[in-house]
């Protein structure tokens, strides 16, 4: 941060909405770092740390509106919306082409539905299908994949799960 001849530096604060839950001064400290008090503006402008861009990433839906307003006053807000099916299809096709996968139209529709407007989930499903089913993906593969991934999301007791992992011979999809 203090070396002027080095490459530009920025600070990314991800999951800022987590700072609002049980906060013990973290959000106030972040705001004080971002804000340049008007009384000390000239002195603050000479401070190199004040010129480092700070990107705060937050899911506003998880935070009460009044608690985040103090941060919003000091920042330029950029909102993102969930991707539509066309955008998901574009990514699905790009991944499939890149990996040499042939995916049926029916399977593509199911994959997009299972992805729930989430690019990361879409890519994860595609990776799982590639590893477990190969390059020729049909609807029955997607249904099987969804069944396996749904079982993973079931809430199991941690002790029971660890015992199963250690003591039982499990196949890859069961462990996954």
Residue 88: half-sphere exposure toward Cβ, Cα within 13 Å? 24
Triad 29, 30, 31: Cα angle to 5°: 90
pLDDT at 170 over 70: no
The residue with greater pLDDT, 172 or 29, is: 29
Does 32 score more than 50 pLDDT?
Answer: yes
Q: How far apart are CA 81 and CA 84, in angstroms?
A: 9
Q: Using CA atoms, how far apart are residues 125 and 108, in angstroms rounded to an integer?
A: 11
Kindly report the average pLDDT of the chain as a whole number. Answer: 78
Q: Count Cβ atoms below 10 Å from residue 119 Cβ, excluding itself.
A: 14
169: helix, coil or strand? coil
Asked whether the beta carbons of 6 and 50 are under 8 A apart, the reply is: no
- What long-range pairs does 167-170 form, CB within 8 A, spacing at least 24? none
Q: Which range among 26-35, 38-47, 102-111 has the greatest average pLDDT?
A: 102-111
| pLDDT over 80 (residue 171) | no
Residue 168: both structure tokens together: 């039982």
pLDDT tens sequence across 54-73: 888 877 665 666 667 777 78
Tell me the per-residue pLDDT of 106-144, one tens digit each, with 9 for 90 and over.
999 999 999 999 999 999 999 999 999 999 999 999 999
Phi (first) and psi of residue 46, to 5 degrees: -80, -15
The predicted pLDDT at position 40 comes to: 47
pLDDT over 80 at 100, yes or no: yes
Residue, of 87 and 26, whose pLDDT is higher: 87
């Amino acid at each position: 941060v203090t070396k002027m001849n080095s490459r530009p530096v920025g600070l990314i604060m991800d999951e800022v909405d987590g700072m609002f839950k049980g906060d013990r001064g973290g959000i106030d400290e972040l705001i004080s770092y971002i804000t340049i008090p008007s009384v000390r503006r000239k002195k603050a402008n000479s401070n190199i740390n004040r010129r480092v861009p700070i990107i705060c990433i937050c899911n506003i839906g998880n935070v009460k509106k009044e608690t985040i307003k103090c941060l919003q006053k000091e920042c330029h807000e950029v909102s993102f919306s969930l991707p539509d099916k066309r955008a998901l299809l574009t990514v699905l096709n790009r991944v499939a082409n890149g990996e040499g996968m042939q995916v049926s139209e029916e399977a593509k529709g199911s994959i997009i539905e299972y992805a729930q407007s989430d690019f990361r989930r879409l890519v994860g499903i595609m990776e799982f299908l590639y590893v477990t089913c190969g390059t020729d993906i049909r609807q029955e593969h997607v249904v099987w994949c969804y069944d396996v991934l749904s079982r993973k999301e079931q809430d199991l007791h941690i002790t029971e799960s660890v015992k199963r992992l250690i003591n039982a011979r499990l196949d890859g999809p069961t462990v996954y």
